[in-house]
Structures are given as C-alpha cells and as structure tokens.
Amino acid sequence: MTISKPDRTDRTAGTRTRTAHRTCPLCEAACALRIDLDGADRVVRVSGDEKDPFSRGYLCPKGAVLGRLDEDPDRLRRPLLRQGGGLREVGWDEAFAAVDAGLGEVIRRHGRDAVALYFGNPTFHTMAGYLYRQAITQALGSANVYSASTVDQMPKHVASGLMFGDPMAVAVPDLDHTDFLLVLGANPVESNGSLCVAPDFAGRLKALRGRGGRLVVVDPRRTRTAALADEHLFVRPGTDPLLLMAMVHTVLGEGLVRIGLPVAGLDRLRELVRDFTPEAVAPVCGVPAETIARLTRELAAARSAAVYARIGTCTAEFGTVAQWQVDVLNTLTGNLDRRGGVMFAETAALEIFRAGPPFSTGNRHSRVRGLPEVLGEFPVATLADEIETPGPGQVRALLAVAGNPALSAPNAPRLARALGGLDFMVCVDPYLNETTRLADVVLPPPRMLQTPHFDFLVQIIMVRNYARYSPAVLPLEPGQRSEAEILARLMLIAAGLGAGTDPARAEEMILGQLGVTGDAIGALDGADGTEKILDALLRAGGYGLSLKAMLDAPHGLDLGPLQPRLPALLRTPDSRVDLAPEPIAADVARLREQLTAAPPEFLLIGRRHLRSNNSWLHNVEELRGGTNRCTLQVHPGDAERLGLDDATPAVVASAVGDVTVPVEVTDTIMPGVVSLPHGWGHQDSTQRVAREDGGVNANALTDDTVVDRVSGNAVFNGVPVTVRALVEGAARS
C-alpha cells in the first residue's frame, strides 16, 4: 500500500514564498519550527510554530538560524576518498566500493573485532541513525562498539536498568506539575534540557515558581538556571554523590520515608548510607550540614517534588552512584511515578523495545583494560587503548557515524593520534572536521531540510506525551543519497553482502528484526525507507498511531500528561524497585574514601553556551561571540593570587596535557574551580568560520584513564588541574 504525500506547504497567493513545519533536530527540546522559504527554496525566516501544543511557538537562537546551518557552504556535497595522501571528491559507487574493500580487507586479515563502531550524538536523534545503529552493529558483529552515550548519560541507563530493570526507563521530572524541583549539575536555561524534553525549559521553570513552587539549583557555577532559582548552592565538583547520600541518610534517619511502591533493598540502603551524615560530607561538598538537612526536609515535605540531575553529575567519577541516589531520593519521598514527581513517558513508537529481559552489565569485558560492557558497548575512554595495544582483537578500522570523538572524547588528542594510525576509517558526516579529516572515506548525508525527521529517543524522556513527524521539505538533488540509504549500504557491506545490494533489503532486515511485517505498512512516495519502519513502530505503539495520523497532524499530536506506569513497567526479577543494586553498592566503599581525601588545588568543570551545540555549531556566523566564547572562567580571588586577568591567558595542565586559554574572571564560579567549555579546538578544521575563532579543546585535559567504574562513563567534571599565568617568552610546560 502506498499513500501519497500531501502538499504540506501553505502557498501564499501572489508571492512565491512557502512555509514548512519542522521539528528542530538540534537538541532534545524538539521545538516545532515554521520555516519560510523563498521561490528558490532558500530559507528566509525561521520562527516558532505557535500551533504546536508542546513548544507553543518557542525557539532558541540556534533554531532561529537553522536555515543558515542547513545551507552552510562548508557542508560536504560529495563523498570524499583518500588518494595519494589527500581527500578528493568521488562518486558514490566508488566511495561505497572503497568502504567494502577497506573494511573487507581488515575483517579478512584480522577478524570482525578489528573493526570498531562509533555512533555520535546526532545518530540518536536522526531517524536513519536511530534505526540503523542497531542493525549495523548486528550486521558487523564486532565486540568493539562505542558511542557518545559513554561520554554522556550511561550512568543514568545503568542506574535505571538496575533499579527498574529497564535501562530505558528514565524517570523525568513532571516539570509542569511539580511543587519543588531540585536540580543538580544541569543548566537547562542554556542547554534546553537533557533527559527531560521540555521546550522553553526556562519558561516552565518560571511557571513553576509562578505557581508557588520552589526551585533549588546545586552547581559549582551560578549559572543562568541558578539565577532563576529560589536558592543556589555551590557544591565542590564531583561531590554530589556525597551530598545525595547525606540527604538519603537524613530521610531515613528522620523518618521522612513515604514509599508507595513495592521496593527491595531498604535495609541494605540504610547500611550503605550510614557513614554519610550531613556533618561528615559537609566539609568535602562545601555545603553546610544544616543546609543539607533543611533541604532534605523541604523536599520531603513538599506536596510533590522531583530531583533532577544531569551532565555535571553523570560525567563524574561516581556518576552511577549519583544517578542511583537521585532516584532513591525520589522513591523514598514518595515522588517516583506520581504527578509532580518523576514519571515515565509513554512513547508513541517505541514501547515494543521495553519488553527486554532484566538489565545486567559486564556480559563481556574490554580487551585491554577489562572494562565491563554496558548496553552492548565499551567506554569511549578506552577506544584509544584498543587501537594502540597490539595483539589479537586489536582495533584496526573504524566506522563512525555523526560523531567528533577527536574533540569530544576524554584525552581526545591521544584518540586523534590513534585514529590517524588506523588501517581504514570511514565517517558518515556532513563536515570535514577534526575527526573526519583522519578518515579514508567520508560519506556526507543530505541537509536537514532534505531529511524526514522523527526523534525516537526524545519520546522516552518527554515531560508530556507527544509525537510529531516532519517530512522532508526539499527533495534530494542529483548526486545526493539519503542518510538512510548510506547507512543501509553500510549495513549490507558490514553483513558481507557487498556494496551493490539493493538498500531495500536492509529495510526488510530491520522490519524482520523488529518482528513486524511489511504488508500492513504504508510508505510515502519518494520516502527514504525510514518512514516505512516508523509507520510499523507507530502501529505497534501504545496509541495505535500510524504515519498517516502523523501526516494529518502537521503541528504535532498532544498525547496528554504523563501517567503513572509502575509497577507494570518494572522489569526487575522480583518486579520491585531495587533500592540497593549490588553492582552500584559495591562502589560505595570507594566513595567513602572521599570523605577523608585531600582535595586538589583546582578542579576543572565544563560549560555549555546557549548559542553552541557540542562541537559542530561553531561555523555559523550569527552564533558567534557574546558569551559563546572559549574562555577559562576563574574566581576573582584565584585570579588575583595567580596574577591572571582578562588580558593574561592561563596555562591549564592536567595529568594528560595542557592548554593555553584566555581567562574570564567571574564571581559566578566557586573558588578553586575553573570552567572550560567543550567542543572547541578547531585549528585543524576546514570549516571557515569555526577555524577563525578556534578555541582550545577541553578534552586535551580530561583523563581517559579515569572513568565511572560502574558504567564506564568518561569524567569531564572534577578533573584535577593546575593553573598558572602565561608568562610571555617562558617555555610552555
């Protein structure tokens, strides 16, 4: 069956402009956009779609320049192939044949584990990336699978997996109904939220306060989110797990427990938190004991409350302990799975993935460092080890999709050197950047406006159930291939079926893997194949939707507020919430050592800017400058002591490297803490705008030998560093 694509553009009489409606693909907020195009299909204006029930007309400065990003002249239009040392444009057939030959050779000589996969952040937010990631992984059959998840939220998956039995059961704050929100290590006013999909997050926080609710932010910086709060608490980087343990200690000790769900492990939990009294943790965290106790009592007494923690607590040495304690607090105070507390979204298209067996980690271990597998992956922090260390199973080739690990991974310069030494590397990416410049083949996907969009991942983490699908606005031009076709061909090559196999075969394989048949599935004229799979998944989802239903709702479908989903969603062996999973509890002894450890002189933390997005939005002129600069933030007291000022750059050194960077003296940061944004360091890029103001790579300082032991996640916050003023003429250390 085929349904034809309706004309979804409103043509304005007399002019040649038209308007298309799209979901912004840039961040997790998933704002709905109105995109005005002129007669030559150039984007003339982007505004918020006021008819969208979820984002209601909101957009941020990045969404507003989506057209500029989409039309960036530096985007690659043809595949690149390395020949005679340089990369040159070739046709698609030649490029795919080179991939088949390059990967084939490595597999023949060294086996499948010698080919590693890396999936970067946008993989999880594009339809093709989301649907083909698993298929490519299965087709290749290599142990060496890596993704941006282990530089981001893996601790959350592990904590959810062990407590609820499902690593994708991520509890999100019921932001629009809560009476008390405690935010740790997140700055949603700049990031627009993460693992908590809420367009206009700042507006929703203001509404929370407007209805008499309370907002408390815990962060070593007084961020824009902290500035909106009723209370901001400075915390020493990396010590949130101690703070949270002390809060749990207080809830248990003062009889504030209000559990409304079947739980296991309460006695073990009491034992684990015993030593973590507010008095014991206060000197280490930098938060007074009375404040910890008061905050806990307020949280427990609130009509409803939600504890929400993100990057500052995930990309830290005890990331999983912190995520576990967050949901322990939510559970003990009766706020798990209840209106105004933290709840689980009901996805339109993904419910069938919820039915897996109970979660476990460590089903395999990495070859060099013996790090446990989590969700089928190894930590990116050990990819360089696997490439550099000889022996059976050594990684000799890489297939990377939508990632820039040469900037985003811990100790990135080491990883970049290792990537440069591979026998073969292929990247699917629209840009020639710090990572793709090292590849043998670069396969560029088409522009965003040429690509259909449905964000599967954000469905799991929305603060309101909602779905929206955006068909492509512009057709592919001759000589372009859809990202779905590129990934389908890579999947077929990985499966050993060769570069010439019909990509439709890949779609059928995915449908087969998902257990849905093709007959009842509608397809769009001229669609790229992912829509067919989307349709099947929507039909299998809880709302009985279909692609047709989505096409009939160009402004999105509101599927209602979050609803209680426990205990049905629990997949633990005894169908109870596990308050003390042993793999996490085993890390508490190590955490206890922190109570007496001497803190280093300076701790480095990260920072995100509203007008940036990881490593790939620095090439848009309109987003440059202002606060969006790569500077080292230093407290005035520290600056004075070290002889630093806004005109004197600092040399920052860690166990793995050093950078020289302009200083920004500000009292918004804690003494003893310095902050550097990530995603910069574009000197090796061919992106013209990005290169001019290249900045330095924060990940030249982050240490790949230190990971969160339970999840393998990288540590970007709380990195010990030394800081000194750059003395003109002096040799750099």
**Positions in the binding site for ligand SF4 (CB under 6 A):** 24, 26-27, 29-31, 59-60, 62-63, 192, 199
The pair of three-digit structure tokens given for residue 578, joined into one six-digit string: 């596990």
Q: Which stretch binds ligand MGD (CB under 6 A): 86-94, 361-369, 459-467, 711-719?
A: 711-719
Query: Shortest Cβ distance from residue 546 to ligand MGD (Å)?
Result: 25
Q: How open is the CA angle 43-45-50, to the nearest 5 degrees?
A: 125
- Closer to Mo ion by Cβ: residue 613 or 628: 613
Cα distance between residue 111 and residue 115, in whole Å: 8
- Closer to ligand SF4 by Cβ: residue 62 or 464: 62
Among Mo ion, ligand SF4, ligand MGD, none, what binds residue 234 when CB lies within 5 to 8 Å by partner kind? none
**Angle subtended by helix axes 483-494 and 92-110, to nearest 10:** 30
Near ligand MGD by CB under 6 A: residue from 58, 180, 324, 431: 431
- Closer to ligand SF4 by Cβ: residue 465 or 711: 465
Residue 707 near residue 316 (C-beta atoms within 8 A): no
Report whether the peptide linkage leading into residue 567 is cis, meaning its omega lies within 30 degrees of zero: yes
152 is an interface residue for Mo ion by CB under 5 A = yes
Cα distance between residue 690 and residue 463, in whole Å: 34
The set of residues, in sequence order, having a beta carbon less than 8 Å from that of 389 and lying 6+ positions away, is 367, 368
- Closer to ligand SF4 by Cβ: residue 61 or 522: 61
Q: Which stretch binds ligand MGD (CB under 6 A): 313-321, 386-394, 497-505, 703-711?
A: 313-321
- Closer to ligand MGD by Cβ: residue 19 or 686: 686
Cα distance between residue 428 and residue 445, in whole Å: 7
Looking at residues 358 to 417 of the shown chain, list those that interact with ligand MGD (rule: CB under 6 A): 401-405, 408
SS3 464: strand
Cα distance between residue 410 and residue 152, in whole Å: 11
Among Mo ion, ligand SF4, ligand MGD, none, what binds residue 218 when CB lies within 5 to 8 Å by partner kind? ligand MGD
Burial class (CB in 10 A: 0-12, 13-18, 19+), 73: exposed
628 is an interface residue for ligand MGD by CB under 6 A = no
Residue type, 696: V
Nearest Cα to 635, choosing from 56, 196, 234, 257?
A: 234
Residue type, 131: L
Task: Give how many residues touch ligand MGD by CB under 6 A.
Answer: 63
C-alpha distance from residue 360 to each of 34, 159, 364, 381 (Å): 43, 11, 11, 21
**Angle subtended by helix axes 319-332 and 240-253, to nearest 10:** 30
614 is an interface residue for ligand MGD by CB under 6 A = yes
Binding to ligand MGD by CB under 6 A, coded x per residue (else -) over 41-80, reads: ----------------------------------------
664 is an interface residue for ligand MGD by CB under 6 A = no
Cα distance between residue 440 and residue 459, in whole Å: 35
711 is an interface residue for ligand MGD by CB under 6 A = no
Query: Shortest Cβ distance from residue 576 to ligand MGD (Å)?
Result: 29
Among Mo ion, ligand MGD, ligand SF4, none, what binds residue 320 when CB lies within 5 to 8 Å by partner kind? none
**Would you tell me which residues interact with ligand MGD (CB under 6 A)?**
27, 120-122, 126, 148, 151-152, 184-188, 190-192, 194, 218-221, 223, 235, 237-238, 240, 310-313, 315-316, 401-405, 408, 428-431, 433, 445, 483, 605-606, 608-610, 612-616, 678-679, 698-699, 702, 716-718
